[in-house]
Structures are given as C-alpha cells and as structure tokens.
C-alpha cells in the first residue's frame, strides 16, 4: 500500500510545476505492528488528514520494519521514527508530528 499525496506549487514565470512534499509519513505494517493495530492507525491517519485538508501536503506510505518492534506501532515522520503509537495517543502524535509541521 502506497498512497502518494503531494502539493504542487506553480512556477508561473518558468512555466512548470514543482512538486513539494511537506511531510513524509510511513506507518509500519510488519507483523509485529500489524498485530498491534497498524491498520487502525492508517485509518485514523487518513481520517485526520482529510479532516484537516492535508491530503495534498503529505506523502503517505507503508514500511515493513522501522526497528522499534517491541514498542508497538511505529511511524516515521520525515527522518524521525516514533514508536508506541496507539489509538489512545494518536491525536497527540498527529498534532506533534503532522499539524505542527504543516500549519
């Protein structure tokens, strides 16, 4: 699963478009994260992106191991890996790693 959502900025004087990805997000869907609810986190993430009209500013993808298997569902925001994401702390994680970087 790879959803590629990008913001396009117009280069009016040059006559071409440049693609700019503001935040790259990967959600681990490996066996450990899958068992701990990674697909629920993907659903929450898609919902929050839509609610905040951020679909065009995010490059969303899946990863198979981000190296924090013992911490729970793991996400990567640009180059920062965050483990232990749950439905209970998802809003806090989303606000810190997505909203703060796109607003």
**63 backbone dihedrals φ, ψ, rounded to 5°:** -130, 155
Q: What is the pLDDT of residue 13?
A: 32
Does pLDDT of 49 surpass 50?
A: yes
CA distances from 9 to 13, 74, 103 (A): 12, 31, 17
Does pLDDT of 4 surpass 90?
A: no
If pLDDT is split at 50, 70 and 90, which confidence band does 18 have?
Answer: very low
Considering the segment(s) 2-102 as one domain, its CATH architecture is: 3-Layer(aba) Sandwich (3.40)
Does pLDDT of 22 surpass 80?
A: no
Q: What is the pLDDT of residue 102?
A: 74
Does pLDDT of 14 surpass 70?
A: no
**Span 56-103, pLDDT tens digits:** 889 999 999 999 989 999 999 999 999 999 999 999 999 999 998 776
Mean pLDDT score, 42-68: 93
Q: Report, in this order, helix, strand and coil percent for the chain, each rounded to 5.
A: 35, 35, 30
Place of tokens 């959502």: 5
Q: What is the pLDDT of residue 2?
A: 34
Mean pLDDT score, 1-17: 34
């Amino acid at each position: 699963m790879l959803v590629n959502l990008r913001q396009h900025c117009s280069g009016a004087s040059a006559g071409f478009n440049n693609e700019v990805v503001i935040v790259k997000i990967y959600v681990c869907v490996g066996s450990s994260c899958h068992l701990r609810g990674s697909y629920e986190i993907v659903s929450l993430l898609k919902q929050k992106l839509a609610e905040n009209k951020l679909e065009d500013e995010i490059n969303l993808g899946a990863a198979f191991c981000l190296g924090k298997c013992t911490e729970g569902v793991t996400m990567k925001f640009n180059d920062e890996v965050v483990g232990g994401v749950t439905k209970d702390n998802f809003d806090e994680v989303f606000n810190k790693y997505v909203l703060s970087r796109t607003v």
